[in-house]
Amino acid sequence: METSIVFAGFGGQGVLFAGQLLAYAGMEEGRHVTWIPSYGPEMRGGTANCTVIVSEEPIGAPVVARPDVAVVLNQPSYDKYEPLVKPGGLLVVNSSIITAVSTRADIEIVYVPANALAEEYGTTKMMNVAAVGALLARRPLLPLTVVQQTLAAHLPASKQHLVEANLRVLQAGWQAAEGVVA
């Protein structure tokens, strides 16, 4: 089974790291993965997105026009990717800053207050991890324990003091989305 995921938001929201986290976790599980980043010339505040594919079989092409899952962290990303999610797919919406409500009935939508969850554990900069937790609660494409181990192993050295907080935020995102479907 192959799952394509787009993470999208502003630069500085950890969009690329969220994608890398899933790609590394997929490799740890022995899956085939691709990770393709895309960002504007502005590092913080500009647009950023990445596409991740996790598959049990070799991946034919890393380009995705209609993702199975979109994780949108800001309003411009919601506007761009909400209509592109495949029917039957999943849209994870950061409801802390996105006020729009989708009218699509052909996809599953989870509204998770990613910023608020992250802030509870220290800093909104961990909101990307809350969104990953929400994604995995609704689409368990990788075991949460593997993602937790990968998070601890791949958090940059300058952020290692935040490992425990990130793990709690990952779990909080999971719990926020576990039984919630719009």
How does pLDDT run across 130-139, given as a tens digit for each residue?
999 999 999 9
Instruction: List beta partners, residue 34.
Output: 53
pLDDT value at position 179? 66
**Residue 65 near residue 53, CB atoms below 8 Å:** no
Is 46 a residue whose pLDDT tops 90?
A: no
pLDDT score for 182: 47
Mean pLDDT (the chain) is: 93
Question: Is pLDDT at 16 greater than 50 in this prediction?
Answer: yes
pLDDT in tens, 89-103: 999 999 999 999 999
Q: Which of the four pLDDT bands, split at 50, 70 and 90, describes residue 157?
A: confident
Domains of the chain, first to last: 2-178 (3.40.920.10)
Cα dihedral 173, 175, 176, 180 sign: positive
Statement: the pTM of the whole predicted model exceeds 0.85? yes
